[in-house]
Structure 1
Amino acid sequence: MKLNICIIDDDLVSQFATQYCIEQYDGDFNITSCGSAEEGLMYCAKLIENKDELPNIIFLDLVMGDMDGWAFLENLKLIAEGHRQPEVYVLSAFTNSKDRAIAKENPLIAGYFDKPLTNTSLNKVFEKKLSK
């Protein structure tokens, strides 16, 4: 099964590192990278408009420019109502216990990982999805 993955991160180095880690993993992936939360939201809105499915998985940075990861999630929830919601995994360079606590309580977030993404983290994400 091919998984559609979206990386939303305003740091190009982090974007590249996340994409590279996923590409090295044994699986069939279609990866799209977005350089801001706004770009990620426009990408998802366009998918909905074209009656395409939203990504299976989104790797989301929380700390970004004009719109942060939390605002992205709230907006995604609004525009994607009635559609299958993607699994969202937060990627953060800063270990923030407050963000972790909020992420644990947020039903839109499937997990929280520190940057850079690792093979061990991907095992947790993909072990169920790739066995289907």
Structure 2
Amino acid sequence: MELKVLIIDDDLVSQFASRYCIEQSISNCRTIVYDTAEAVLNMFADPLHNEEDVPDLLFLDLVMQGMDGWEFLEKLKIGSNALQKTDIYILSAFANSNDRARAKGHPMIKGHFDKPLSKSIMDKILHSKKQ
């Protein structure tokens, strides 16, 4: 079964590093990258979107131009159920203790990790996905 992974991050270097790590860790995956959270919300709000495109994993940056990661999660909670079965992980460049505490208590978030994404983090995520 192909694993579908979505990255929402406005930084090109982080996008590349995350995609590279994911594709090195998972042999059978499809990785999709968006540089804005608005684009992802619009995609899932479109009645023509394909249910098969719902990702298994989503890596979300918190600090982005326009809509940040927290606002994305809030709008996602209010709107579509499209990502209900998706495991959402925060990838952040800033070790902010408030964000960590907020992520830990957030019902939609499975985990919070510092950038860059590493093979050991991916192994941990994939192991928890199998259980």
| TM-score, length of structure 2 as denominator length | 0.89
Corresponding residue for residue 127 of structure 1: 127
Is the Cα contact below 8 Å between 2:43 and 2:49 reproduced in 1?
no
Corresponding residue for residue 91 of structure 1: 91
* Cα-Cα RMSD: 1.9
Tell me which stretches of 4 or more aligned residues in structure 1 moved more than 4 Å.
none
User: CA–CA distance in 1 between the matches of 2:82 and 2:34?
Assistant: 23
Is the Cα contact below 8 Å between 2:44 and 2:82 reproduced in 1?
no
Aligned letter for 1:72? F
| TM-score, length of structure 1 as denominator length | 0.89
Percent identity of the aligned residues? Answer: 47
| 1:72-129 Cα deviation digits (max 9, x unpaired) | 1111122223763311000000000000000000010000010000001001111143
Q: Secondary structure at the match of 2:116?
A: coil
Asked if residue 5 in structure 1 is aligned to residue 2 in structure 2, the reply is: no
Corresponding residue for residue 112 of structure 2: 112
Offset at residue 28 of structure 1 (A): 1.1
User: CA–CA distance in 2 between the matches of 1:93 and 1:39?
Assistant: 22
Q: Secondary structure at the match of 2:117?
A: coil
Aligned letter for 1:14? S
User: CA–CA distance in 2 between the matches of 1:99 and 1:73?
Assistant: 13
| 1:18-71 Cα deviation digits (max 9, x unpaired) | 00001111431111000011122223334x643514211100000001100001
Shift of the 114–29 alpha-carbon distance from structure 1 to 2, 3 Å rule, reads same
Q: How many residues matched?
A: 130
Shift of the 23–108 alpha-carbon distance from structure 1 to 2, 3 Å rule, reads same
Structure 2 gaps of 5+ residues are: none
